[in-house]
Chain A
Amino acid sequence: MSAPGVAPRRVLAWSAPVLAALIVLPFLVPAWQTVLLSYGLVFAIAALGFNLLLGYTGLLSFGHSAYFGAGAYAVAFIVKYAGLESMEVFLLGGVVVSGIVAALFGVLCVRYTRIFFGILTMALSQVLWSLAYKFFWVTGGSDGLRVPTPTLLGGLVRMGADKQDFLSGPYYFYVLAVFVIAVAVMWVIVHSPFGKALQAIRDNETRAEFVGVQVWHYRWVAFVISGIFTGLAGALWVPLNGLTTPDILHWTFSGKIVFFTVLGGFQTFFGPVIGAVIYNYLENWAVGYTVYWQMVLGVVLVVLVLALPAGIVGTVKRMSVRAAKAA
C-alpha cells in the first residue's frame, strides 16, 4: 500500500489462477487437506481484519483473540440457547457480537497508542478469557461448548451421513466464498478515502488531525471493522472445530494472529493472508514434532523482526522490485 497501489488489473490477473486452484482443490486432494486449508482460510480472514489495524492504521493489538472468541462463542450461544443451526444466523450473530465487543473495547483502547494500546488490548482479552472460565455454567468453562455442523444457505444444504464429506465439500466452498468476499470488501476499504485517512493517521497522527481527520474517531471505526472481520473468522471456525473453548480467547491465540501477520508481511495487503495460510500448515506439521511450539514461534518472530521485517510477501515484493530495476 505504500507503493503505488497494485493496479486492480494486476491483482485480478494473478488472483484468478489462485482462485481457480482453490476451487479445484477439493477434487484433487484428500478430504483432510481440504479441511486443513479451510482452517487456513479462516485464519486468513482474521489476519485481514487484524492487519487493518496494524498495517494500515499503525496499531498493534495483542488482544485480537477477544473478537475471534466473541464470534465463536456467539455461535455456541446461538446453538445452546436458541437451538438454531443455520450458518447464516451464526455469521450474523458472530459479526454482531464481535462488533459490539470491539466497539466497547475500542472506546477504551484507541485513546492510546503503541505500548499502552498493546497491553490494554491484551489485558482486555484476558478479562474475557477469565470470564469464559469463571462463568462455566454459561460458557461450559474449560470444557467449552459443542457446536454441531450447521446448515448452509438457509437450510438448503445439510450435512449428509459423513461430517468429513460435508466439511471438505459444501462447507469448504462456503468458507471460500466468504473468504473471497472478505478479501474484496477489505480491499475496497483500504483503497477508499477512509483507508487513506487511516494510513495518514499511521504515518503522521498530528498532520492527520491538521488535515481534518479526527484521529480518535477513525481509529475506533477501524478497530470495530477489524474486530468484525476477526469475529467473522471465529464464527466460521467453530463448525470446523466442532467445539469452542476458552483457549481461543487466551493471549497465546492473539499471539498467533500477530505472528502469522508479521510472517506474511504486515506492510502489504496479501501478506497477512499468505502468512496465515502458511502458518496453518507449519503449525499442523510442527505440533507433531515438538511440545515447545511456542518457543519456535518466538524464535521465528525474533528472527523476522531482526532480519526480515517485511515478512515473506514483503520481502518477495522488494526482491522483485529490485530484480525489475536490475533488468
Chain B
Amino acid sequence: MDLATLTVHVLNALLYASVMFLIAGGLSLIYGVMRIVNLAHGNLYAFGAYVSAWAVGRALGTSTEASLWMYALLPVGAVAAALLGAVLEPTLLRPLYRRAEEYQLLITFGLLLILEDVMRFVWGPYPLQASALYEALGSLTIGDSIYPTYNLVVIVVGGIAAAGLWAFIYRTGFGVVLRATSQNMRMASALGVNVNRVYVQAFTLGCFMAGLGGAVIMPQQGAVLGMGVDALILAFVVVVIGGLGSLEGALIGALMVGIVREAGITFFPEIELAILYLMAAIVLFIRPAGILGRA
C-alpha cells in the first residue's frame, strides 16, 4: 500500500473517530457527571443532523450552489440538540434520580421512541440531504486519489472539540465543579454546589456534542431515520472499549473504532459491523471497565 492510499485510510479512520468521539464523548460526559445513560442519546445526534439539514435546506432553497455562510448554519443542529437536552433533563430525568436505575432506562427508551417518530413526523420518512455543502469545498489530491476536503473539516471539528472539551474540563472553574460533582455529588452539594444546575448543564453539553456530531457529518451522510439507534450502539462500542465516564477513554475508543472499522471495510467489507462488536466483546472479557473506565 503506498503512502497516499494509507493517508486516505488514516483520514477516513479519523473522520469516523471524530464523529464517534463527539457522540460517545457526550454519552460518557453525561454518565461521568450524572451516572445516567440516555438511551435516546443517539437520537439527539440524529436530531442535530435533521435540524441542520433542514436549516441548510431552507438556506439553499432550490439552488445547488452552496455559499460559504451556509456552513455557519451547521451548528444550529448542535444548539437545537442542546436546547432539547436542557428541556428534557429537568422534566423527564430529574424525577427519577432517586428511583431504581431501570426507570431511567425505561424513560429514556420511551424518549427514544418518541424522538424517532417526532423526526418522522416533522421531516418525513425520507432522508434529508445537503450534499451541496459536502461538494462545495471540493477535493484534494492525495497521490492518485481524490479526497473530499469536507472530510478534513469534520476531522478538524473533532479535534477542536476534543481539545476544547479538555480545556473546559481541566482548565475552567466550571470544569472543576463538573469534576467535583462527578466524583462525589453529595460532597459537592455540601460544599454549596448547585447540583441540579450542574446536572442540567452537563446534560446540555453532552447533548450539544451529540448534536454537533450529527450536524457536522450530515453533509456527507444526510439525515435518515434510524441513524440514532445505529449511532447509539456504535457509541456503546466506543465506551465499552474506552470506559464509560472517561473522556480520554471516549477519545481512545473512538480512535480504535475508527481504525478498526476502516481496516475492516478495506479488507473484509462484509463483516465490518461484526468486527466492531467482536472488538467490544474482547474488551469486555479482558477488561470489563474498559481501558480507562470507572463504571
Contact = CB atoms under 8 A, between A and B. Distances in A.
A and B touching (C-beta < 8 Å)?
yes
B105 interface: yes
Contacts of B102: 54, 58, 60, 114
27 contacts: A60-B106, A114-B101, A115-B31, A116-B240, A118-B105, A119-B37, A119-B232, A123-B233, A123-B237, A127-B273, A262-B106, A291-B120, A292-B117, A293-B117, A294-B114, A295-B117, A295-B121, A297-B113, A298-B110, A299-B110, A301-B107, A301-B109, A301-B110, A305-B103, A306-B92, A309-B99, A309-B103
Nearest to B290: A116
Given A62-B109, A255-B109, A305 B37 contact: no
Contact of A298 (B95, B96, B117, B280): B117
Contacts of B31: 115
A302 B92 contact: yes
B39 interface: yes
A127 B105 CA distance: 21
Interface in A132-169: 134
B273 A130 contact: yes
| 8 closest cross-chain pairs (CB), A and B | A298-B113, A301-B110, A295-B117, A298-B114, A302-B110, A115-B37, A298-B110, A292-B117
A68 interface: no
Interface of A: 54, 58, 60, 62, 108, 111-112, 114-116, 118-120, 122-124, 126-127, 130, 134, 251, 255, 258, 262, 291-295, 297-302, 304-306, 309
Contact of B236 (A119, A251, A291, A306): A119
Contacts of B110: 297-302, 305
A144 to B, nearest CB: 19
A251 B244 CA distance: 22
- Of B106, B107, B112, B273, chain A has the most CB atoms within 10 Å of the CB of B106
Interface of B: 31, 37, 39, 92, 95-96, 99, 101-103, 105-107, 109-118, 120-121, 229, 232-233, 236-237, 240, 244, 270, 273-274, 277, 280-281, 284, 288, 295
Contacts of B107: 301-302, 305-306
Interface centre among B110, B111, B121, B280 (most CB of A within 10 A): B110
Given A108-B281, A112-B288, A301-B110, 19 more contacts: A62-B39, A62-B109, A111-B284, A111-B288, A115-B244, A116-B244, A116-B295, A118-B37, A119-B236, A134-B270, A258-B109, A291-B120, A293-B117, A295-B118, A298-B109, A298-B112, A301-B107, A302-B110, A306-B95
A276 to B, nearest CB: 17
A251 B113 CA distance: 11
Contacts of B273: 127, 130
B264 to A, nearest CB: 14
A302 B114 contact: yes
Contacts of A108: 281, 284
Contact of A294 (B116, B244, B277): B116
